[in-house]
Amino acid sequence: MSEPSPLAAAQQRFAEAIPFRSLGAEPCPLTAALSRTLYEDVVAPTDLPPYHRVIVEGFLVRSEDTAGASEEAPVAFTVAGEVKPGDERCPPIAKGHALEVATGVVAPTGAYSVVRMWEAKRQGDRVSITRPFPPRFFIEEQGCDLKKGAVVAAAGSAVGPAEMGNIAALGITHLQVSKRPRVTVIACGDEVIPYDQPLRPGLIRDSNSIMLSAAVSTAGGESRTAGILRDDFDGFVTAARAALSDSDMLLISGGTAAGGGDFISAALRALGELLVDGVPMRSGRPLIMGVASGKPLVCVAGHPPEALRGFRLFGVAALNRLLGREAPLPEDL
């Protein structure tokens, strides 16, 4: 078995230091659950569909009554009634009789078939067919989609439109989802100014805070910004420690200019434990990771494309761990 790449080894070391599903659960209305991460399995309380049902418009007949039907010897039935949407039951069908049925209505148990409208010729209350029909033809069985007790959506998975539909069909109104990790985004550098300020030579607007906050939200976190920190070690550590007090994760961009990577590396040692001090790869030096009381400290480059790349490689993995998502470690592109 080949050794993992330096990137994969760094990701694994970092991920293993972050507690899995550590933030607890909160109730969430189904209507607000899109993209939220399930904290526990959603289990079907009933079968889906909850009864046998017809899946086409046509005529419900006893399958044995269709035996021998052909073009040369059609078999005729008397239409004895109708099953309408919303009817609670399907009445018994006598030999030689048929019931007109609509899509979705209740179907009986037993050897019955549905003759589609276009396969029957109707005249008044009589309908004839020209071929036999097998039992349960165009009848959907109770529980064919989900059996009672089946897992509809697993803990650690993100709720998507299809899952929401299945859950709604089961009458479930609230879910237990993982709390969103609170991520404080920090930009660093003496040359960095707020993005809405006038620019002059030698300065650069802070686009990373906006970009990384959006990336955090997309990955399942709840982002907040702590402004721009200057290249001052003591001031940085003080501000970062304050941000950690009500955050679950810090996401820091830039700050490696003052004394190279040692500035951020030393700051992470002051805050907690340094785990990844650079990665031997393209623009890998600014990728510096640590933890403080189980809270991820993710430090990425100041150059926006590399900042986003670093977040995708390490920040997403950290959020997945906090949320309890069983996801593979992101691969470099």
Q: At the fourth CATH level, which superfamily is domain 25-50+146-178?
A: Molybdopterin biosynthesis moea protein, domain 2 (3.90.105.10)
* 201 pLDDT more than 80: yes
Count of alpha carbons within 13 Å of 8, Cβ hemisphere only? 7
pLDDT at 4: 81
Q: Encode pLDDT of 110-134 as tens digits.
A: 999 999 999 999 999 999 999 999 9
Domain-by-domain residue ranges, the chain?
6-23+179-323, 25-50+146-178, 53-140
pLDDT at 259: 47
Inter-helix orientation angle 316-323/6-16, to 10°: 30
pLDDT at 282: 63
pLDDT at 40: 95
Provide the pLDDT confidence category of residue 263 given band limits of 50, 70 and 90.
confident
Q: Encode pLDDT of 15-74 as tens digits.
A: 999 999 989 999 999 999 999 999 999 999 999 999 999 999 999 999 999 999 999 999
φ, ψ dihedrals at 88, nearest 5°: -80, -20
- Please state, in angstroms and as integers, the Cα–Cα distance from residue 280 to each residue in 11, 161, 275, 297, following that order: 13, 40, 14, 19
User: What is the mean pLDDT of the segment spanning 227-255?
Assistant: 93
Portion of the chain with pLDDT greater than 70, in percent: 95
pLDDT at 283: 58
Nearest to 255 by CA among 238, 240, 283, 236: 236
User: What is the mean pLDDT of the segment spanning 99-105?
Assistant: 97
Residue 13, classed as helix, strand or coil, is helix
> Tell me, which fold does domain 53-140 have in CATH?
Molybdopterin biosynthesis moeA protein; domain 3 (2.170.190)
pLDDT at 298: 97
* 291 pLDDT more than 90: yes
User: What is the mean pLDDT of the segment spanning 319-328?
Assistant: 94
CATH number of 6-23+179-323: 3.40.980.10
